[in-house]
Amino acid sequence: MKITFLGGGNMANALIGGLVGKGFAAADIAAVEREPDNRAKLEAAYGIRTYAGPDAEAWNCDLIVLAVKPQQMKEACAPLLPHLRQQLVVSIAAGLRLADLSRWLGGHRRLVRTMPNTPALIGAGVTGLYALPEVDAAGRAAAERVLQAVGSTLWIADEALMDSVTAVSGSGPAYVFLFIEALQQAALDLGFAPEQARQLAIETTLGAAKLAAQSAEPASVLRERVTSKGGTTAAALAKMDECGVLAGIVAGVIAADARGRELGELLGKD
Ligand SMILES: NC(=O)C1=CN([C@@H]2O[C@H](COP(=O)(O)OP(=O)(O)OC[C@H]3O[C@@H](n4cnc5c(N)ncnc54)[C@H](O)[C@@H]3O)[C@@H](O)[C@H]2O)C=CC1
Ligand SMILES: O=C(O)[C@@H]1CCC=N1
């Protein structure tokens, strides 16, 4: 399967890195990227072909991944139109609805909307996928194969829920990084050296996530097991509750979901 990326920024790097790491042939991957520095990085890091603009040869592929910012998509798609045949088009753009993308692509309907996340770079991503009814089983399998190369996947039956996938897992790594930053900051404040603070914060996050993944019990039970009555964890959780940490996280995710819908509506006016 030959894959061409439109846009070679952060997320394309994560996906291409994951694909090459999984053994996809670099010769079968290309990227159309307008920034010379980004092209040089992609070539050096993964040995893939790059193009400065929409070269006809670039679109001689089976699957196109649209990886520009949602606000750049309409303009970036225009030069692609004359080269669209039966390629499967997979968008990773937040907010952008397939009805609008299809309109911008001259009515093309072999479209899959996906939402991966940056741990894809190390093969630990999670991606929600939604396909138009016109995408057959082989098309769905092809999209799934690409995203499964960089982590786990799940099909979403209702496109409206793709904004919620974006809010939970697309943006999710940022919430976890923020948590790591906070834990590390607290460790520094308590007198640890930076390397020790980093080790304590990261290994704790990693260990707890692995335990939650491997355990049959819900996270709430695992949390209770750490929390001795009258102990240190109880003191921490009471203070965090007083600061509105849990409510803040839930409200933040809901704000991300609302922003995705808003973005979709704004893009739909174009
Ligand atoms: N960063 C993240 O964690 C995630 C991002 N996404 C989605 O991925 C998409 C890309 O996001 P990022 O990689 O973060 O953005 P980015 O800005 O790092 O990458 C976009 C790239 O596209 C290039 N580009 C823009 N217009 C172009 C054109 N007309 N022709 C060729 N190249 C062009 C830019 O030079 C840039 O390198 C967005 O739609 C975003 O919603 C999805 C999941 C997670
Ligand atoms: O912040 C954003 O809009 C993109 C989508 C999910 C992660 N980054």
Per-domain residue ranges for the chain?
A: 3-165, 172-260
Q: Is the whole model's pTM more than 0.90, yes or no?
A: yes
Alpha helices in 149-244, H assignment, sequence order:
162-165, 172-189, 194-214, 219-226, 232-242
Residue with tokens 């630990």: 124
- pLDDT exceeds cutoff 90 at 169: yes
* pLDDT-derived band at 40, boundaries 50, 70, 90: very high
Amino acid 151: pLDDT: 96
The CATH architecture one would assign to domain 172-260 is: Orthogonal Bundle (1.10)
3-165: CATH homologous superfamily? NAD(P)-binding Rossmann-like Domain (3.40.50.720)
**Any residues with Cβ below 6 Å from ligand 1, and which?**
7-12, 32-35, 38, 67-70, 72, 75-76, 92-94, 115-118, 170
Amino acid 54: pLDDT: 80
Distance CA 10, CA 16 (A): 10
Distance CA 117, CA 172 (A): 8
Amino acid 53: pLDDT: 87
The answer to the question of whether 73 is labelled as a binding residue is: no
Cβ count within 10 A of residue 57: 11
What is the 73 CA–ligand 1 centroid distance (Å)? 9
Amino acid 121: pLDDT: 87
Enter the DSSP assignment of 228. Answer: -
- pLDDT exceeds cutoff 90 at 8: yes
Distance CA 134, CA 69 (A): 25
- What mean pLDDT do residues 118-132 have? 95
Amino acid 25: pLDDT: 96
* pLDDT-derived band at 143, boundaries 50, 70, 90: very high
